[in-house]
Chains A and B, each alone.
Chain A
Amino acid sequence: MRRGEKGVITAVDPADPAVQRLMVLGLVAGAELEYAGAAIGGDPLEFRLFGNSISLRRAEALCFRIAVVRDGG
């Protein structure tokens, strides 16, 4: 995803306890995200979720499937 792009989480693989922790923070199917950038070295990544910023390590982010929403019109 590029900076500023929005997306919706479509699927989560909940096996990893780290992912479960993230779900408790609100990263569940149906949540809207906006990608906000990365830190030094491209890791961790920052997302905006319902008005708040959350940072994830790249490895953790890969457990979520996101459908990118293109801003039409």
Chain B
Amino acid sequence: MRYLLRKLGFYLIAAWVALTLNFLLPQLIPGNPVEVLLTKMSQAGPVPVGEQQVLTRLLGLGSGNIFDKYWQYVDGVAHLRLGLSISNFPTPVSAEIGSSIYWTLVLVGTATVISFLLGITLGALAGWKRGSRLEAIIPSTTLLTAMPYFWLALILLFVFATNIWHVFPQGQGYNYDSAITVGWNAPFIASAAQHAILPALTIVISSVGGWLLGMRNMMVSTLSDDYVVAAEAKGLRPRRIMIGYAARNAVLPSVSGFAISLGFVVSGAIALEYVFSYPGIGYQLVTAVGNDDYPLMQGIFLVITLAVLGANLLVDLLHGFIDPRTRLSR
């Protein structure tokens, strides 16, 4: 229980820091951003009454001293008044993000889980069978992990979509041309899956090496521990020693290292979605940057950060579950 409260407390603080950063950062915008935004909006269509106030508060430029401004900002965010998007005027930012977040969640989530499981399994095997052919692939994983996601995406696109074999679509989330409606129907799901293969493959190829290497190193360390030797001496079946004794303990640093890794995957996914014009939140962020769409950028930064924090909280709880020691100590 204490472990749980401590973790919750930490993530609350982290979320507060993210919120405060989101309040402070727009102060860096030179000039008067509200004026600029309103001018752009009025070119795109009639600006609703009250939008000026929402923008002012959102960008931390409200009235009074800094605490008043902060309070007005928090009040606005708490009521989900995130302003209107400029890239797609006059859609509210919350609706814009709501339409893109699922694409990223499904793509990045699925690919990360696949990559984690694959890397952990291969790493455990490589650490277990030292000197086998599996060990030989380890140097190549260093190349894979140093490779930028988006560059691998470019190559996969070049090879499998645009120039050599035309087996996969060139990008986007699903086939926009045909009469496919978004929803739970077979044609849409099939089309979306087909469009997700190359992006997902990119994530798996570039992130699997790190999991593999970390797991393999921990596995090697664990195998020389006394309890593994004792298990061998007891005559337990090798498979049981590998999975139940060595791998179970070796996986713990990988699980607790998930926090940093998820940040990498999310970062990689932003450029990746840009390459594939994938309708997720990363592509939306790049578009927002191109259009100087400050409200949308702020909203996306907040949502991405909170999502990463949430995922880490889940993983930490899972860690407490698979490693009873963390629940007792600290």
Asked if A and B are interacting partners, one says no
Q: What is the interface of chain B, defined by CB distance below 8 A to chain A?
A: none
